[in-house]
Structure 1
Amino acid sequence: HRTTSVLSKLLFALPNSPLQYPIQGYTVHPTQLILQPGGSLHLWCPPFGSGVTTTTCNNDLAAALQCSGFSNEKFGVQFAQFAQNSFYSVADDLSQVTIATKTFLRYEQLKVLLDSIRKFYSTIKVIVADDNFEPEHITGENIQHYIMPPAQGWFAGRNLAVSQVTTKYFLWVDDDFLFTEKTKIEKLVEVMEAVPELDVVGGSVKENQFYFSLIYEEGEETEGGCLYRKSNKKLHSVPGYPQCFLASGVVNFFLARTDAVQRVGFDPKLQRIAHSEFFMDGLGYLLVATCGDVSIDHQHVARSARYRKFRNPRKDDSEFKLQLHFFKNHLKCIKYG
């Protein structure tokens, strides 16, 4: 079980520069703005002169601090991390992108999806993971079709498809999506190349830009904490791309950095109820954003009775997922809002 250690003790770096900050024993939630404990600016004011000290940073930001009248005052400090743009861009070289999908009992919709992909991207590689009961042969240039044992489930299929990706990025789509003029993969690649810290960038499905944030509330060691999933709650915007915002999770249409997603993986124990769980496992490991200017369409087709039987979760599926969260993620509750 979890125990405290010597690393839990709060320690501060001495203010050799004007800033004192914690170096140990303080928990910071990913992508959240926080007020550091005990943080203070220690200023030396000259005995004569204007009493103003100015510090200029390499990024041409200047901070002018009025010294007279205070000593050892506390300030909230926000740290900004500046990333260097990559000299090599694959935005116009989609040979570094693979489209991945998983299909089950929807061959007709899959063929419509593949035709729409070829309408706009004639040579891009497509990987299909297939766990149908009666597999059909999928043909086409630069299409890789992997047949699985029947009804292995949603995340098992995702794992198989992503495991076969050899390009820098992959674009995940559902087998009943439809590419349109607004499905601009290169726009998502441009954002990922410009901000290399990003691991996943989602778009919108039929103009619905679904995204959510995850907030973890620490609990007792024996019971675990609580995780709150808040729909349509975004964080700050991506620098240089005001149409994009950081989030914790996005819709089933996203471009991802292959190596980052392969490190997190998709838990194959989750067969039917599974989407947010990938982003829960990736919390603290994946930096996620959502961009509203890239979208994909959704086919309007009635679901067969056989498909609905597998699509609609049973009560024991929901109960199993909660048990998995408790033991795997050490959670006592998950709340949705």
Structure 2
Amino acid sequence: SHVRDCSHLQSLYLISQNDLCLHTPHFFHRTTSVLSKLLFALPNSPLQYPIQGYTVQPLSSSVIPGSGEKELIIKSRSLELLNDVLVKVSYTSTVYHINTGDLGLHSQIFFLVYNNSQVTIATKTFLRYEQLKVLLDSIRKFYSTIKVIVADDNFEPEHITGENIQHYIMPPAQGWFAGRNLAVSQVTTKYFLWVDDDFLFTEKTKIEKLVEVMEAVPELDVVGGSVKENQFYFSLIYEEGEETEGGCLYRKSNKKLHSVPGYPQCFLASGVVNFFLARTDAVQRVGFDPKLQRIAHSEFFMDGLGYLLVATCGDVSIDHQHVARSARYRKFRNPRKEDSEFKLQLHFFKNHLKCIKYG
């Protein structure tokens, strides 16, 4: 393989597997600003501290510029000695937040009036009309008038009827993310609830509980529940790398952060199970990359890292239909080797990454 300089280009493209372009200068022009320059405050005291250009990553320890340690206990009767030691003091962020290095969430008292006009249910269907009809029947059992949007890329489309059901037919086999984009693009309510077409509503599928959490903590963008008592969630950790290499992204399964204030059953995370309530405008800003057609759930949250504040709540759940997958469906559902390779290539170059690790 060989690398060539592409500084004359306006965008970064993967020419082929053996022909890569280094485009670092333009990338950092887009992602940095003058506020990244390190400035120090020089107050009328023995302390000097940075006021700009230094970021403490959430839930991590960072050395103050010029220091060499991350944790210190300082005791001294000598001001001169204390000043000498203070150059090694660090600050540890103890609160996770996507928009700043250290900002705590707060709760507020409110009265919630829930109605169907706040939420739209969205799903995408492919080769599973029988399961879709069971899902729709279960929705109507508990929410008789809520709007449902169905994106459909079947080869032989069937007509889906019912009150407050919007059925959008796509070209065949366009993929999961293309269908998600279509469905979410037609949502006009404040929130939407994403479900798979083979899910099943039960007495524990309480949309209003998820809405309550979202209304109480307006900074939240996505709140996930559990599927058949499986509260899947994960955390994403990004480590910045060198300018020419990019950073590393780590996805850690079953790793959650601290609880949501006022809701001990809910915890912050980076990604959740494929059953979640989301703020429509926030998700529309991130979008679903239509280049990813098959397995792509985690990749949505990777694209949303730093933009979406995500939580998971264990007291709201949905069931899963037990139906054998047809051979035709498995052919499209299971990714091919080239699909997996393309997915990694896309994320490496789109997000300027050196590595992605799963654990």
Q: How far did residue 88 of structure 1 move?
A: 6.9
Contact kept in structure 2, 1:30 and 1:284, CA below 8 Å: no
- d(CA) in 1 for partners of 2:47 and 2:288? 42
Determine whether 1:217 maps to 2:239.
yes
Is 2:52 aligned against 1:24?
yes
Following superposition, the deviation at residue 26 of structure 1 comes to 1.8
Deviation sequence 1:150-173 (CA, Å, 0-9, x none): 000010000000000000000000
Residue 85 (structure 1) aligned with residue 108 (structure 2): yes
The answer to whether the Cα contact below 8 Å between 2:195 and 2:274 also exists between their aligned partners in 1 is yes
Q: Is the 8 A contact 1:199 1:256 kept in 2?
A: yes
Q: Assess, with a 3 A threshold, how the Cα gap between structure 1 residues 175 and 10 changes in structure 2: closer, same or farther.
A: same
Q: Structure 1 residues 189 and 304 mapped into 2: Cα distance closer, same or farther (>3 Å)?
A: same
Cα distance in 1 for residues equivalent to 2:307 and 2:299: 14
Contact between 1:225 and 1:331, CA under 8 Å: does it hold in 2? yes
Give the Å deviation of 1:218. Answer: 1.1
TM superposition shift of 1:8 = 3.2
- Following superposition, the deviation at residue 7 of structure 1 comes to 3.6
Q: 1:204 is paired with a residue of what secondary structure? A: strand
Secondary structure of 2:138's partner? helix
CA deviation after TM superposition for structure 1 residue 327, in Å = 1.2
Greater mean deviation of Cα atoms: 84-93 or 119-128: 84-93
Distance 1:273 1:263 in 2: 21
Check conservation: 1:235, 1:247, Cα contact below 8 A: yes
After superposition, the C-alpha distances for 1:152-195 in whole angstroms (9 at most, x for unaligned) are 00100000000000000000000000000000000000000000
Query: Does the residue aligned with 1:34 lie in a helix, a strand or coil?
Result: strand
Contact 1:41/1:73 (<8 A) preserved: no
Does the 8 A contact of 2:63 with 2:69 survive in 1?
no
Aligned-pair distance for 1:92? 4.6
Which residue of the partner structure matches residue 225 of structure 2? 203
Give the CA deviation at 1:6.
4.8
Q: Matches of 1:118 and 1:163 in 2, distance apart?
A: 23
Tell me by how many angstroms 1:132 deviates: 0.3
The CA deviation at 1:71 is: 21
Partners of 2:60 and 2:338 lie apart in 1 by 35
The 8 Å contact of residues 19 and 42 in structure 1, kept in 2 or not, is answered as: no
CA-CA distance at 1:85 after TM superposition: 4.0
In structure 2, C-alpha distance between the alignment counterparts of 1:256 and 1:282, rounded to whole Å: 12
The CA distance in 2 between the partners of 1:89 and 1:223, in whole Å, is: 48
Using the TM superposition, give the Cα deviation of residue 276 of structure 1 relative to its aligned residue in structure 2, in angstroms.
0.7
Give CA deviations for 1:248-293 in whole Å, capped at 9, x if unaligned: 0001000000000000000000001201111111101000000000
Tell me how far 1:75 sits from its aligned partner.
Answer: 19
Alignment-derived partner of residue 93 in structure 2: 72
SS of alignment partner, residue 317 of structure 1: helix
Deviations 1:47-105 (CA, angstroms, capped at 9, x unpaired)? xxxxxxxxxxxx99xxxxxxxxx999999999xxxxx7486745355x11000000000
The offset of 1:11, in angstroms, is 2.1
What does 1:305-320 correspond to in 2, within 5 Å? 305-320=327-342
Given that 2:121 and 2:193 are in contact with CA atoms closer than 8 Å, whether structure 1 keeps it comes out as yes
Asked whether the equivalents of residues 35 and 76 of structure 1 are also in contact (C-alpha less than 8 Å), the reply is no
Change (3 A) 1:42 1:157: closer
Q: Quick check: 196-205 or 12-21, which moved more?
A: 12-21
Equivalent position SS for 2:188: coil
CA contact (8 A) 1:203 1:292 kept: yes
- CA positional deviation for 1:25: 1.6
Deviations 1:91-137 (A, max 9, x none): 355x1100000000000000000000000000000000000000000
- Structure-2 change in CA distance of 1:13 and 1:42 (3 Å): farther
Question: Deviation string for 1:195-235 (max 9, x for gaps)?
Answer: 00000000000000000000001112122111000001000
Aligned-residue offset at 1:28: 3.5
**Alpha-carbon distance, 1:19 to partner:** 9.5
Q: What does residue 55 of structure 1 align with? A: none
Q: CA deviation at 1:27?
A: 2.7
User: What SS class does the counterpart of residue 127 from structure 1 fall into?
Assistant: strand
Against the structure 1 CA distance between its residues 73 and 241, is the aligned structure 2 distance closer, same or farther, given a 3 Å change threshold? closer
* CA deviations over 1:285-311 (Å, ceiling 9, x no partner): 000000000000000000000000000
Confirm or deny: 8 A CA contact 2:160 2:167 kept in the other structure.
Answer: yes
The number of aligned residues is 307
Between the aligned residues of both structures, percent identity stands at 91
Distance 2:98 2:281 in 1: 33
Alpha carbons 1:99, 1:173 under 8 Å: kept: yes
Distance change >3 Å, CA 149–CA 305, structure 1 → 2: same
Deviates more, 1:1-10 or 1:139-148: 1-10
Distance 2:196 2:93 in 1: 57
Q: What is the deviation of 1:31?
A: 6.5
Report the Cα distance in structure 1 between the residues aligned to 2:164 and 2:130, rounded to whole angstroms.
Answer: 19
Counterpart contact for 1:36–1:77, Cα < 8 Å: no
8 A Cα contact 2:120 2:191, kept in partner = yes
Q: CA RMSD in A?
A: 5.1
Go from structure 1 to structure 2 and tell me whether the alpha carbon gap of 1:19 and 1:312 turns closer, same or farther (over 3 Å shift).
farther
